[in-house]
Structure 1
Amino acid sequence: MPPAGGGAAARNGSSAQWKKTASARPSRTATTTTSAAAPSGRSASKGARAKKGYKGRPYQEPRRFWNYPRPNKGPIHRWLPSWRFVLGTFVAFLLLGVGLFVYAYQTIGVPEPDDVAMAEGSTVYFADGTTEMGTFAEVNREIIATEELPEYVGQAVVASEDRRFYSNAGVDPIGILRALWNNLQGNPTQGGSTLTQQYVERYYTGQTSSYADKFREAILAIKIDREQPKDEILGNYMNTIYFGRGAYGIERAAQEYFGHSAAELTLSESALIAGIIPSPSNWDPAVSPEQAERRWNRTLDYMVESGFITAAERNAQEFPATIEPTRSDTYAGPTGYLLEMVRAELLAAGLTADQIDGGGLDIVSTIDPELQAAAITASQNMPEDTPAGVRVALTSIDNETGGIVALYGGADYLTVQRNAATQDVAQGGSTFKVFGLIAALENGVTLEDRYASYSPMDVDGYEVRNFDRVNRGNIDLVEATENSVNTVYVQMNSEVGPEHLVDVAHRLGLPEETAIEAVPSNVLGPAAPHPADMAEAYSTIASGGVHRDRYIVASATNGDGQVLYMGGSEEERVVEADVIADATYAMQQVVESGTGETASEIGRPAAGKTGSSNDYRSAWFVGFVPQITTSVAMYQVGENGEEVSMVDGFGGVSPISGGSFPTDIWTEYMTTAVADLPVEDFPDRTEPEAPTWEPTEEPTTEEPTEEPTTPEPTEEPTTPEPTEEPTQEPTEEPTEEPTDEPTGTPTDEPTDPPTEEPTNGTGVPGWDDLFAPPGRNDP
């Protein structure tokens, strides 16, 4: 207790004492500073804050120029640039970008409209690279003053291609972002180019794929937009771009699509032409009328949305009719089919019609000029009385590469614009037996396995007949292939499983859209492939089981020497070599002494298979040497496009079967094709084991008690008539098989004539369609 009366003095004394004591104690700050500085030997001044590292670590001086990673920071923050660094980098790049933009803007000149439209046609060469096959679009262009055009022509183009044309500055950031977002979502690819950029792109045809080119395009678009009125840009655009059908500019487009000047275009016609601008070759009404009409509707809707026309005007429009596309003389004759194939392959590879028609490309095909001439000569070497509707298709493929060395698709592309080799189909007949044979060999069957061969025969409830009705007893698969014995092949196919044949056919090269039913009769070829597809499939066999896609374009190069496309695909083994060797051995017997014996006249090892389809609607020979595979198909078309049976024949041959004209054409062509090639043998097959076969169990139908006499190999055919009447009513399940060639004669014709004329399920006479359901064998 302080003394009485001395409270104030006591308090003052106590305060003074506290201050003295406090001043005698070192401050917390001073202590901390001193302790922090102690390790470095430096003394800290009173109140100074020491520099610290991260969590007591020694302090590091920052780098003066590139302070990265940042010292004295945590494990995450040290890798994050400071705001000063970010700001400095942004400013630096901004200044660099501005400088680059200014430089580009000053140095890139605006081309004249005539310069922009300078496009060069492309040249197609044969495989030698020097012999010209033809050209694509020697530029068909005509300038028209935009003042002569109705106002709605330009409005339709703006509505379809760039609705913000009148408000953007040559580039459209909104359009670019919208296209980017659409593409990132995985939707159909969109471009963000404005109408002005598309116009500029014509100046760099085929050269706007890199970012540098796109940048140059954008700069030029901005510059043109500043220096030219919008209507002038629109007019130049319409006089410059490609509209399809070889037409550059709106005037030629109007002529090619509607047969009159662009000054006479109607609103509806204008909307159609504007709508197909992005892909004129694919959206041409003659190619895709549905897509053309969708684009037409879209353009009219956008014209209403943009205020160019009223809803009433839009509703009054009708989809316009267009004239048929015309082709230049370049497409005349058989060569036109080759040029159209070249064009189609380049388009499928991603090149645009604009590049093909105006890019000045050098296109080298795989077609050998000498072999192509031989293919044309052989295919057209037909008797004078050959009906007008008979068509021949020949496809020849280099087995090592898959390149097409010769192809005959018709006499004149301008007359018939449908390629017989790649677009038409024909029932394969007994050429499909090879697929069944390979399927059997893959599943444990051997060439030495034997089957009963009498005819007719019941197989799984179906009646099968041989072409010549000859019973050869129990025969092996070599003899069955050599003589094309239907009953043996249907038994074998049923035993192995017809679904295996389907798998083999597609693996070898027949596309999935070739409808092959998994039924025992598929081995007799009711399916209808393209003749070129059969050449590709047999080429896989000739290559030892290695498949290659066929192609016709070796390379396409632009004017700067840049290769834009090279044909060919990676090879793929689809069947084991030992299986192919056995199948090829059996197919060699067809040429040496069987139904295709005429082909042996080329004087070297060859293998193949003949084929004759329902009611002789088609006839085939597909064969190969180790280097080249060639398919020949023949069929007849009636006046109304219907299939016509060739049972009546022509040129003294009746009926027309695979061993007749198709084998003759193949032999004539291949004699030239192999003339300069070395003679090569096929791989040896595995030596077969000693036969231990037992006769197969006889089907339920009894063997005929009187065996038909086997015809002599040199005996000439005596009748063109088909075989006997089927045992079932036409309205029931058909029972007779599609048949094939006879034995013993190079012409593949019967020597033991039938005496009655059957009818198939449709009432049409036919000896070989009784196995399949009605109508299924129609191509």
Structure 2
Amino acid sequence: MAQGRGSSGRGASGQGAGGPKRRSVRESGVSTSGTGAPSWKSTSGAAAGAKGTGSRSAASSGAATKTRKRFWNYPRRGKGPVLRWLPGWRFVLGTAGLGLVAGVLLFAIAYALIDVPEPDDIALAEGSTVTFSDGETPMGTFAEVDRDLIDTSELPEHVGAAIVASEDRRFYSNVGVDPVGILRALWNNLRGNDTQGGSTLTMQYVERYYTGQTSGYLDKFREAVLALKIDQQQSKEEILGAYMNTIYFGRGAYGIERASQEYFGHPATELTLSESALLAGIIPSPGNWDPAVAPDQAQARWERTLAFMVENGAITQAEADELEFPEVVEPERTDTYGGPNGYLLAMVRDELVAAGFTEDEIDGGGLQITSTIDPQLQEEAVVAAENLPEDTPDGVRVALTSIDNETGGIAALYGGPDYIERQRNAATQDNAQGGSTFKPFALIAALEGEATLETRYTSYAPMDIAGYEVNNFDSINRGYIDLVTATKYSVNTAYVQLNSATGPEALVDVAHRMGLPEDTPGLEGNLVNVLGTASPNPADMAEAYSTIATGGVHRDPYIVEDVVNAGGDTVYTGGGESEQVVDPQVMADATYAMTQVVEGGTGSTAAAIGRPAAGKTGSSNDYRSAWFVGFVPQITTSVAMYQIGEDGEEVSMVDGWGGVAPISGGSYPTDIWTEYMTAAVADLPVEEFPERSAPEYVYVPPSRPTEEETTQEPTEEPTEEETTEEPTEEETTEEPTEEPTTPEPEPTEEPTEEPTEEPTEDPTEEPTDEANGDPDGDAGLLGSGDSSGGGDASGGG
């Protein structure tokens, strides 16, 4: 009866077992006390008991509890504001237990289903093949597998002991998988130390001998299962022996026998303890730790291996202390790298390594690598670059880089005649002073500001500009000339004034945006940087001018089109995103000015390709380098030439060869460019460049140079026609029109050794590249003015 009264009393107050109470508890979400009432009602509940309502029976409480149970018990009742949202310990333990059971069950199923394959069923290490852009014409092969299988039981014991100490010190005690090693590697990596792997020696053997290169968690899981099974089926000696016969040691050598031959020149049975420690130490990254590449790192790995051998008890500390670092033989390049193609293969390899491929994958992964190099264009590039007179000095270097403007892919590249003889790429690794090839950067910087193509400057020489005495080689005063004329004839005085007005730092900024690296030697914000005192490499200049050709769209150049692995999957695609770095109309205007260089200026030889082209010549101070960089809408090509002396010093090309003296940008570099580009564009449609901005009327003030400042005083204010068209006979009587074969008259300021004989050709036209020996009008650019801060400030444009 007490129960009944209590129930009826609670029902009357709205707190009975009926619907109202259940709704209030669910809707409010508040926790309840042990009596079933909200905790903040516990006092009134006690009072009700004192009035005779009594407490609820266990059965009644149980019934109420059953009505509140839900599958999703969040937020949990009776818990604090944080704990109510956290799972209980029973739930955590239950979930963990369930996961453990599921993992064990999954592993048991996998262990039962995964069979150990025969090694012959799996392609072991296969060389990677590189083709030209057509995907068929072979360029070369990376490390055809060089392996000699031997009976490893005949090796000295210290060979295997060194490998075990370096790669898996718990090899003889683990079961193919080492949880301790995995946890140790994980903890080490989490602390930010040098990255470690948790693979055992057996797992590495499985990866190389049975499964090939693995990636992803599923592959690693399968690798672990196979390692466990193989550890049960084979002895430790068998596993270690197979490992030593298959592991990659660098230099194209797979297995301990080939490694011993490649590094020490003798069989593996003759390996000393010191030699064994070296080979074992470099296994994780043989390409980077080869003593011929990184001797300090190789020695550190050697010392590490010896220390672990002492720790393992394989040798004593006294034995380790007595050892000396072993001498290795120099690596030999195979014929694969012979000839000009060797430079291309080295570039392909470098790009893949930069993309994350390991040396082992490249040399033994069976990759099919397609390059961006067009086989026909590459052949034309080699022919053009090597088409020099027989008396060309041995130290002359020629570099050519040709880029597909639409993609940024390298279509052809000449880095030298033979990679084996000179393992330094003239196009990507050598630097040469750029000369007047830097003037377009100043022009672009000015056009981004207040200047237009009609902006004019005086052109007399010599001219003192901010302490620099600037010369034009031909010493002709063209009056006040616009930027088109200044570009066409590469007028130094006009361009230094332009650079002063715009700011030399603006030129540097443009050059970087176009593609020249931040660390380009000599690229600094000084007044004469417009004359090319910086020394880029030819490939970087091709990249920068390609940005002009594309209307200001920059793309990073690349040489690998794609990579397909042994399974037929495309695992890499070259090329990146493009970026608009300069306004297209600015580039259209700059391009127009550069077309005038080809159509009748310092690079007029290039007009022979028979279609719209733009470019710029360049000759450095004392003719130590000569350039022509030019483009059509589809292709950009740079050509650079320089000479190296017997001791590696730069040599002036002022005396020339082959009847040409001096060697300037408008001579052999433009000839090479024209020969190559004539073939390169033969099958391409003729495309026009974008229209330049509408010309603006500009008042032309009179020229004011004094008689001492110039060799020719203007007699009247120049008209538009006089400043933009070819000069009159009176203006051109000082210089010839064809390339001299004997020395010429010296300029106003003597920058180099210049000819002394007067030519006999009819001098009635504007001097060109061939006319004055300096097609760029820049090699004799500065007098005795201050040249600080400008690299070789007396160098030409």
Equivalent residue, structure 2, for 1:714: 737
Q: Identify if the C-alpha distance between structure 1 residues 696 and 555 changes in structure 2 by more than 3 Å, giving closer, same or farther.
A: farther
Q: Identify if the C-alpha distance between structure 1 residues 339 and 743 changes in structure 2 by more than 3 Å, giving closer, same or farther.
A: farther
CA distance, structure 1, for counterparts of residue 556 and residue 56 of structure 2: 87
CA distance, structure 2, for counterparts of residue 307 and residue 106 of structure 1: 37
Shift of 1:83: 5.3
Q: Does 1:398 align with 2:404?
A: yes
Equivalent residue, structure 1, for 2:380: 374
Q: Secondary structure at the match of 1:51?
A: helix
The CA deviation string for residues 295-346 of structure 1, in whole angstroms up to 9 with x for no partner, is 2232223333333333333333333332222222222211111111111111
Equivalent residue, structure 2, for 1:273: 279
1:313 corresponds to which letter in structure 2? Answer: E
Q: Does 1:562 align with 2:541?
A: no
The CA deviation string for residues 447-489 of structure 1, in whole angstroms up to 9 with x for no partner, is 2122122222211112111122222222221111111111111
Single out whichever of 106-115 and 214-223 deviates more from structure 2.
Answer: 106-115
The one of 671, 674, 681 equivalent to 1:664 is 671
Q: Secondary structure at the match of 1:394?
A: strand
Q: Secondary structure at the match of 2:58?
A: coil
CA distance, structure 1, for counterparts of residue 198 and residue 678 of structure 2: 57
CA distance, structure 1, for counterparts of residue 128 and residue 702 of structure 2: 65
Q: Does 1:600 align with 2:610?
A: no
CA distance, structure 2, for counterparts of residue 368 and residue 26 of structure 1: 97
Q: Identify if the C-alpha distance between structure 1 residues 721 and 641 changes in structure 2 by more than 3 Å, giving closer, same or farther.
A: farther
Equivalent residue, structure 2, for 1:745: 768
Equivalent residue, structure 2, for 1:522: 529
Q: Secondary structure at the match of 1:60?
A: helix
Q: Secondary structure at the match of 1:50?
A: helix
The CA deviation string for residues 715-755 of structure 1, in whole angstroms up to 9 with x for no partner, is 44364469469699xxxxxxxxxxxxx96335364399x9x
The CA deviation string for residues 360-393 of structure 1, in whole angstroms up to 9 with x for no partner, is 1111111111111111111111111111111111
Q: Does 1:422 align with 2:431?
A: no
Equivalent residue, structure 2, for 1:343: 349
Q: Identify if the C-alpha distance between structure 1 residues 673 and 293 changes in structure 2 by more than 3 Å, giving closer, same or farther.
A: same
1:274 corresponds to which letter in structure 2? Answer: A
CA distance, structure 1, for counterparts of residue 707 and residue 406 of structure 2: 47
Q: Does 1:636 align with 2:643?
A: yes
1:691 corresponds to which letter in structure 2? Answer: V
CA distance, structure 1, for counterparts of residue 58 and residue 519 of structure 2: 87
Shift of 1:95: 2.9
State whether residues 432 and 642 of structure 2, in contact with CA within 8 Å, keep that contact through their aligned partners in structure 1.
yes
2:450 corresponds to which letter in structure 1? Answer: G
Equivalent residue, structure 2, for 1:550: 557
State whether residues 125 and 131 of structure 1, in contact with CA within 8 Å, keep that contact through their aligned partners in structure 2.
yes
Single out whichever of 637-646 and 625-634 deviates more from structure 2.
Answer: 637-646
The CA deviation string for residues 247-287 of structure 1, in whole angstroms up to 9 with x for no partner, is 11111111112221122222222222222211111222222
The one of 504, 507, 513 equivalent to 1:501 is 507
Q: Does 1:478 align with 2:484?
A: yes
Equivalent residue, structure 2, for 1:137: 143
State whether residues 449 and 693 of structure 1, in contact with CA within 8 Å, keep that contact through their aligned partners in structure 2.
no
Shift of 1:570: 0.3
Q: Identify if the C-alpha distance between structure 1 residues 266 and 725 changes in structure 2 by more than 3 Å, giving closer, same or farther.
A: farther
Equivalent residue, structure 2, for 1:461: 467
State whether residues 551 and 588 of structure 2, in contact with CA within 8 Å, keep that contact through their aligned partners in structure 1.
yes
Q: Secondary structure at the match of 1:238?
A: helix
Equivalent residue, structure 2, for 1:535: 542
Shift of 1:668: 0.5
State whether residues 245 and 257 of structure 2, in contact with CA within 8 Å, keep that contact through their aligned partners in structure 1.
yes
Equivalent residue, structure 2, for 1:166: 172
1:258 corresponds to which letter in structure 2? Answer: F
Q: Secondary structure at the match of 1:451?
A: strand
Q: Identify if the C-alpha distance between structure 1 residues 52 and 79 changes in structure 2 by more than 3 Å, giving closer, same or farther.
A: farther
2:737 corresponds to which letter in structure 1? Answer: T
Equivalent residue, structure 2, for 1:777: 792
The one of 586, 592, 595 equivalent to 2:593 is 586
Q: Does 1:648 align with 2:648?
A: no
State whether residues 70 and 81 of structure 1, in contact with CA within 8 Å, keep that contact through their aligned partners in structure 2.
no
2:673 corresponds to which letter in structure 1? Answer: W
Equivalent residue, structure 1, for 2:60: 50
Equivalent residue, structure 2, for 1:60: 67
The one of 303, 324, 327 equivalent to 1:321 is 327
Equivalent residue, structure 2, for 1:101: 107
Q: Identify if the C-alpha distance between structure 1 residues 110 and 748 changes in structure 2 by more than 3 Å, giving closer, same or farther.
A: farther
CA distance, structure 1, for counterparts of residue 488 and residue 219 of structure 2: 63
Shift of 1:684: 0.6
1:521 corresponds to which letter in structure 2? Answer: V
Shift of 1:188: 4.1
CA distance, structure 2, for counterparts of residue 384 and residue 172 of structure 1: 67
The one of 169, 172, 184 equivalent to 2:190 is 184
Q: Secondary structure at the match of 1:479?
A: helix
1:532 corresponds to which letter in structure 2? Answer: A
The CA deviation string for residues 27-67 of structure 1, in whole angstroms up to 9 with x for no partner, is 997888888655379999994343379xxx9963535xx56
Q: Secondary structure at the match of 2:671?
A: helix
CA distance, structure 1, for counterparts of residue 252 and residue 387 of structure 2: 35
Q: Secondary structure at the match of 1:364?
A: strand
State whether residues 34 and 44 of structure 1, in contact with CA within 8 Å, keep that contact through their aligned partners in structure 2.
no
Shift of 1:556: 0.2
Equivalent residue, structure 2, for 1:17: none
Q: Does 1:150 align with 2:156?
A: yes
Single out whichever of 214-223 and 289-298 deviates more from structure 2.
Answer: 289-298
1:750 corresponds to which letter in structure 2? Answer: G
CA distance, structure 2, for counterparts of residue 696 and residue 181 of structure 1: 77
2:556 corresponds to which letter in structure 1? Answer: D
The one of 606, 629, 632 equivalent to 1:625 is 632
The one of 16, 34, 39 equivalent to 2:18 is 39
CA distance, structure 2, for counterparts of residue 154 and residue 770 of structure 1: 70
Percent of aligned pairs with the same amino acid: 66
Shift of 1:678: 0.8
Q: Secondary structure at the match of 1:620?
A: strand
State whether residues 659 and 749 of structure 1, in contact with CA within 8 Å, keep that contact through their aligned partners in structure 2.
no
Q: Does 1:447 align with 2:457?
A: no
Shift of 1:240: 0.8
The one of 234, 255, 260 equivalent to 2:261 is 255
State whether residues 68 and 81 of structure 1, in contact with CA within 8 Å, keep that contact through their aligned partners in structure 2.
no
Shift of 1:128: 1.2
Unaligned runs of 5+ in 1: 1-23, 729-741, 755-764
Q: Identify if the C-alpha distance between structure 1 residues 696 and 319 changes in structure 2 by more than 3 Å, giving closer, same or farther.
A: farther
Q: Identify if the C-alpha distance between structure 1 residues 694 and 292 changes in structure 2 by more than 3 Å, giving closer, same or farther.
A: farther
Shift of 1:103: 2.3
Unaligned runs of 5+ in 2: 22-52, 714-729, 752-764
The one of 390, 393, 404 equivalent to 1:387 is 393
Equivalent residue, structure 1, for 2:50: none
Q: Identify if the C-alpha distance between structure 1 residues 766 and 313 changes in structure 2 by more than 3 Å, giving closer, same or farther.
A: farther
State whether residues 545 and 636 of structure 2, in contact with CA within 8 Å, keep that contact through their aligned partners in structure 1.
yes
Q: Identify if the C-alpha distance between structure 1 residues 693 and 199 changes in structure 2 by more than 3 Å, giving closer, same or farther.
A: farther
CA distance, structure 2, for counterparts of residue 497 and residue 591 of structure 1: 27
The CA deviation string for residues 152-181 of structure 1, in whole angstroms up to 9 with x for no partner, is 222222222222222222222222223223
State whether residues 37 and 50 of structure 1, in contact with CA within 8 Å, keep that contact through their aligned partners in structure 2.
no
Q: Identify if the C-alpha distance between structure 1 residues 46 and 163 changes in structure 2 by more than 3 Å, giving closer, same or farther.
A: closer
Shift of 1:352: 1.2
Q: Secondary structure at the match of 1:213?
A: helix
1:679 corresponds to which letter in structure 2? Answer: V
Q: Secondary structure at the match of 1:630?
A: strand
Q: Secondary structure at the match of 2:628?
A: strand
Q: Secondary structure at the match of 2:397?
A: strand
Q: Secondary structure at the match of 2:400?
A: strand
Equivalent residue, structure 1, for 2:685: 678
